[in-house]
Structure formats: C-alpha cells, structure tokens
Amino acid sequence: MTGIVAASSAVAVVGAVGVLAAVMAKTIVTPPGARGDDTRVYGVDLQNGTVTLQRHRDSVLPGDYSFFFSAGTGHARVGEVTTRTATSVTRRILSVDYGDLPAARRGRFSGWLYTSPADLGGAWTEVTVSTPVGAAPAWLIPADDAAPAGRWVIQVHGRAVRREEALRAVPVFRAAGYTSLLVSYRNDGDAPTSDDGRYGLGDTEWPDIQAALDYAVDHGATSIVLMGWSMGGAVVLQTLTRSRHADRIDGVVLDSPVIDWTDVVAAQARDRRLPTLIARCAVAIMGARWAGRITGQATPIDFGRLDFVARARDVNRPILLLHSDDDGFVPATGSHRLADRRPDIVTFVAFAQARHTKLWNFDPTRWNAEIASWLGRLPQRSLTALPVDRSAVQPRRSRS
C-alpha cells in the first residue's frame, strides 16, 4: 500500500509540473491583452504639481517616466521624487497630456515618456514596410539636413510593447546624423498577426526586420545600425546572423537585451517562486515539434539558435550592450557572458539600478553619451567593403 501511495504521489507531482510548465510556455509565446493598472494613485496636488503613488521598484526610480492611468484613458509624465514613505512615493508632474489625473485611482509606470514622434519636434512620417505577414506601420524620422546621407538606425522594440518604446533613442541618433526607422513586427498590436498569432521570441520575427532593411536600402541607407530593446535584442541578433542584408549592418546597439532565453525563463520562474524544473520543462515544450497542441505555435522555437552566449563567435559586428544588473525581468547574466566571450567587439555598459529598459530614464546624460561616443568610433563601411575591422571600435566596460 505504501508503494502505491508513493507512486500515486509521484504521478501527481509529475502531472503538476507538466501543467505548470505548459501554462508558462503558453503564456510566454502568447501576446498579452491590454496591460492592467498596477499602481495605486493616493492623491494629486495640482497646486503644487505633484502626484502621490504606490511605492514599488519602478515608481521609486529617479528620472522622468510616463504614467498611464485609468485603464489607459489618461497619460501624464512624472519626474523628480520629492517625498517617499514605506508605502508611497510623491513625484513632480511634468505634464498631463490627456485624461483626468485627479480622478484617477490606478495607473501604471512606463519608461516610454514619449508617446508620438511629434513629442520630439522635427519632421517625421508614417510609412509602411512590406513584411512577409503584410504591411507593417513604421515611423521614419529623418536626420538633420546637414547630416551625411545614408546613415540609418532601425529600432526594434521589445515584447508586449510597441514602437513608442524606442522614441527615447531618436535624439541621440539624429544628433549623430542617423535617420531613424522605428518598426513594428508581427503580433505586436500594430503590425499584422502571424497565422498562429504567437511570438517566436526572435526566431520568427526577424524576417520583418529584414523587410525593414529592404526598405532602408531602397531609400538610400548605406550604413545601418540595428538597435534592439529587450526581446527586440533577440530579434536583432537573429537578423544580424540570418538576414541576406547582414553585410549592410555596421553595428548593433542592445538595451536590456535577451541574449539567452533559458536565462530569462528561469528568472521568470524564480520570480514566481516556481521550481527551476518548471522553467526547463517550459523551454522544452516551446522547442518541441508537438508544442503547437499546447501553446498554439505553428513551429517550435530553436532555443539553441537564440543562445548568443553559446553562439558568441557567430557575431561579427561591433556591439554596444547596455544593461542594468537589477533589471528585474531580463537578467543581465547573458549580457555579461557575451561581453566576456567577445571583448574584441562588445562594449559593455553596466548600470546598477536602472531596472528593465529604463536606463535612459534613469540617467539620460550617461546613456546618450555612451551611444554618441560609440557611434563616433564606429567604422562607416561602403556597401562593397570587406568585413568590419573589429579593432576600430575599442570595446570597453563601463559601470555606474
């Protein structure tokens, strides 16, 4: 009888692990719906220009941020922290762009700050990129008139967000003479969906960025930088190593990037206080041929192809890599390992407390300076040039 009970318990445990792993796998590859409000609004003092919010790891960060409130019907920009308690934080209101902030009860923090290219001033155009899944909208923001023609940066946003994420980077690239193309890609809510409506974590999205390269080259780009944010970093690295236009890419900038998805999935399991075994099983499910029966994927994800710690030698362009050690969503371990394995081409800039994709908000002066300096050292190749001289961009490590 004891043996039967033990066997039954083991079966129950295995079954529970399988169910949790399946749920985790499906959640990772399924684009989420509208983001919910997760921050309480305790009070608004318009006379003094402050708002008091629930204290958490993001709301207490120094810097300027977006605050979407009342289920996305309102948007404000908040700045300096003036007061903090154990449960609340009071910040300066920089602007209320729309909505009734005094009536708000809940909202959510965002690193976007800008919600449209119009916020930046200067010319911009809404264009479309012909991707394999259909016409995808993009923002085209030209360089200054005095800039040399041909320098472009293609901005690739992260998971569960949109083009607005990358608007913060436009001014530093524009000052360096780069035309910016901020793209959308399959299943992001702006571009068309794929047939399965699932994320490929970079393994299936990169052809849409190849289409953006087509657009850039057709419109005069001769020196292209790819910039990826969070999951956009994984998309960019796939584009660099798989695209027919790889020879057109002169360098890569990565902000809080996914370098190895197994690290990220394991970190998400720990954050939810789940056993590491569940994370390993979730990765196995997403990579299995039969995964579609559980997750809805049309094709399995090749996690080995997405692991750029293991594939470090496959990267052959200068990389500027910016990551915060307290990221909280995408651990910086993969970034550290890639920088350690490729010190010849990777310039690693480590922040200590800027959280996920909020490095610009936390310290825009430093963030902009690091990018401007790296761009200034980046070789500008002709379209027929030999592979880039890796010694020309002097990699280094920088810490806050």
Q: Tens digits of per-residue pLDDT, 59-106?
A: 999 999 999 999 999 999 999 999 999 999 999 999 999 999 999 999
Domains of the chain: 1-30+262-287 (no CATH), 39-110 (2.40.10), 117-260+307-399 (3.40.50.1820)
Among 26-35, 63-72, 252-261, 279-288, where is mean pLDDT lowest? 26-35
pLDDT value at residue 146: 67
In whole angstroms, give the CA distance from residue 364 to residue 358. 9
Per-residue pLDDT tens digits for 186-200: 999 999 999 999 999
pLDDT tens sequence across 137-165: 999 999 987 677 799 999 999 999 999 99
Q: What is the pLDDT of residues 345-357, one digit of tens each?
A: 999 999 999 999 9
Confidence grade of residue 9 (pLDDT, cut at 50, 70, 90): very low
Q: Is the pLDDT of residue 20 over 70?
A: yes
pTM of the model: 0.92
Quickly list DSSP for 49-74: TEEEEE--TTTT-SS-EEEEETTTTE
How are beta strands 88-98 and 39-45 bridged, if at all?
A: unpaired
Interatomic CA distance for residues 42 and 48, integer angstroms: 15
Of 12-26, 229-243, 269-283, 296-310, the least confident:
12-26
**How confident is the model over 190-226, as pLDDT tens digits?**
999 999 999 999 999 999 999 999 999 999 999 999 9
Q: Give the model's pLDDT for residue 170.
A: 98
Give the tokens for residue 333.
Answer: 């371990």
Cβ 182 vs Cβ 138: under 8 Å: yes
Amino acid identity of 106?
R
Residues in the chain: 400
Q: What are the tens digits of pLDDT across the range 233-267?
A: 999 999 999 999 999 999 999 999 999 999 999 99
On the question of pLDDT at 367 being above 90, the answer is: yes
Mean pLDDT over all residues of the chain? 92
- Report whether pLDDT(7) > 50: no
pLDDT of residue 103: 97
Which strands, in side-by-side order, build the sheet including 346-351?
A: 125-131, 134-141, 179-183, 151-156, 223-229, 249-255, 319-324, 346-351, 397-399
